[in-house]
Amino acid sequence: MNYFYCYDGQMMRKLQDKNIRYITRALTVDKHLKFWLYAITDEFQQALEEIKRTQI
């Protein structure tokens, strides 16, 4: 399985609005940046493409 690391809070909220749930949220070890981890599924890919289309 492949994973998507999301470091953007706005992107996380847009995915959440499309009912895509993250596996976990955590902080990077070195810089303590927050990220959300998603499994890349067909549903995730479709939601990500929709988000990308609306941002352009």
- Residue 3, classified by CB atoms within 10 Å of its CB into exposed (0-12), middle (13-18) or buried (19+), is exposed
- Which letter does DSSP use for residue 24 in this model? E
Query: Residue 37's beta-bridge partner residues?
Result: 5, 24
pLDDT in tens, the chain (56 residues): 999 999 999 999 999 999 999 999 999 999 999 999 999 999 999 999 999 999 86
Which pair of tokens denotes residue 10? 């706005």
pLDDT at 56: 62
Which pair of tokens denotes residue 31? 């810089």
Which pair of tokens denotes residue 25? 């949220």
